[in-house]
C-alpha cells in the first residue's frame, strides 16, 4: 500500500508544532476504491513524557470514518474548526472519503451529517467491535489500513454501480481546490454551464455544504498555510488574492472560523 509523502495536508493549524507531537501517515486507496476514498490516514502519538496537546483542524469538505480502540464513528463536515486533545499514547485509523464519495454508502443527503456524527452500525449495519479488535491486533499500519479497505471493498461489491453525479461533484470540488481563480460560485457556474440551483442541490446531497462554503474554506486553508510560511506581509493584497472584496471581509471570516485574528494567528505560528 503506497504511502503519500510530502507536507502535512492543509487544514492542520499550527502544523509545525503538531509535527513535533504526533506522526501522520497517509495511504493511497486502491484503484477500485479511489472513486470513493481520497486517502486513508493514521495518526500515532506518545506524549507520556510531555504535556497534552490540543490540535485544531480547519476541516475539509469530506466525510471521515475514524476507528479508535473504543469506538468507530462517521463524522460529517464540520463548518467550524474541530479540536482533538492528544494525550498519553496511541493511534487511530481514518478514512477520508472524497467529496460525494460517502453518499453511496449512506443514500441520504450528506447535509444531514454536517456538524454531526453517526455510529459505524448506523451505516454498515454491524457492530464495530469486531473491526476495532481486528485493526488494533495488526502488527503494522499498512496491514491495519488494508483491513479497512477490504471491508469497504466488500460493501462496494454490493452497490448497484458508481453514481455519475457523485463523480461530477467530486471533480467539481477538486477543481475548486486546485484552481485559485474560482473565487465565487458564479465562477463555477460559468465554468460548468450548470444552473446555480442544480449546483446547490448536488452539493447539499453529495458534499453536505454549499459551493460557497467550499470555496471559502479552501481559500482559508490557503491563507493559514501561507501565514505559517511567512508569506502574508501585505494584508490588503493578501485578502484580494484570496478572493475577498477587501481586507476587513477576510479578517472577519478568518476570525469567525479560526477564533482569532490573522495577526494573532501569525504571532503564534
Q: How far, in whole angstroms, is CA 29 from its chain's centroid?
A: 15
* Cell digits of residue 114: 454536517
Domains of the chain plus CATH, in order, are 3-156 (no CATH), 164-267 (1.10.10.60)
Rounded Cα distance, 44 and 188, in Å: 38
Rounded Cα distance, 21 and 100, in Å: 32
pTM above 0.75, yes or no: yes
Kindly list the distances between the CA atom of residue 210 and the CA atoms of 101, 115, 186, 244, in Å, as whole numbers in the listed order: 16, 14, 13, 18
Q: Are 103 and 206 in contact (CB under 8 A)?
A: yes
Which pLDDT belongs to residue 66?
A: 98
Identify the bridge partners of residue 53 per DSSP, sorted by sequence position. Answer: 86
As a whole-number percent, the residues of the chain with pLDDT over 90 amount to 69
In this prediction, residue 200 has a pLDDT band, given cuts at 50, 70 and 90, of very high
Give the DSSP H or E segment for 64: strand 64-67
Rounded Cα distance, 64 and 74, in Å: 6
Rounded Cα distance, 15 and 11, in Å: 9
* Cell digits of residue 213: 462554503
Could you tell me which of 112, 110, 86 has the C-alpha nearest to residue 98? 110
Give tens-digit pLDDT for 8-58.
678 999 888 888 899 999 999 999 999 999 999 999 999 999 999 999 999
Q: What is the mean pLDDT of residues 203-216?
A: 96
Amino acid at each position: 500500500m503506497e504511502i503519500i509523502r510530502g507536507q502535512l495536508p492543509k487544514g492542520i493549524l499550527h502544523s509545525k508544532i503538531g509535527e513535533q507531537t504526533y506522526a501522520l501517515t497517509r495511504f493511497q486507496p486502491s484503484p477500485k476504491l479511489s472513486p470513493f476514498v481520497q486517502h486513508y490516514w493514521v495518526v500515532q502519538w506518545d506524549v507520556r513524557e510531555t504535556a497534552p496537546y490540543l490540535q485544531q483542524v480547519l476541516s475539509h469538505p469530506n466525510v471521515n470514518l475514524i476507528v479508535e480502540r473504543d469506538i468507530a464513528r462517521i463524522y460529517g463536515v464540520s463548518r467550524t474548526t474541530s479540536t482533538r486533545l492528544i494525550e498519553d499514547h496511541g493511534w487511530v485509523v481514518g478514512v477520508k472519503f472524497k467529496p460525494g464519495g460517502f453518499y453511496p454508502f449512506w443514500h441520504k443527503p450528506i447535509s444531514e451529517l454536517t456538524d454531526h456524527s453517526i455510529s459505524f452500525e448506523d451505516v454498515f449495519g454491524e457492530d464495530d467491535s469486531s473491526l476495532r479488535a481486528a485493526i488494533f491486533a495488526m502488527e503494522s499500519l499498512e496491514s491495519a489500513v488494508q483491513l479497512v479497505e477490504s471491508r469497504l471493498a466488500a460493501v462496494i461489491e454490493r452497490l448497484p454501480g458508481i453514481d455519475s453525479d457523485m463523480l461530477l461533484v467530486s471533480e467539481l470540488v477538486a477543481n475548486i481546490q486546485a484552481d485559485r481563480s474560482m473565487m465565487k460560485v458564479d465562477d463555477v457556474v460559468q465554468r460548468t454551464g450548470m444552473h446555480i440551483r442544480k449546483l446547490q442541490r448536488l452539493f447539499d446531497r453529495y458534499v453536505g455544504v454549499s459551493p460557497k462554503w467550499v470555496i471559502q474554506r479552501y481559500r482559508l486553508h490557503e491563507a493559514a498555510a501561507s501565514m505559517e510560511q511567512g508569506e502574508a506581509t501585505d494584508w490588503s493584497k493578501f485578502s484580494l488574492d484570496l478572493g475577498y472584496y477587501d481586507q476587513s471581509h477576510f479578517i472577519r471570516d478568518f476570525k469567525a472560523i479560526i477564533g482569532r485574528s490573522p495577526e494573532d494567528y501569525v504571532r503564534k505560528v
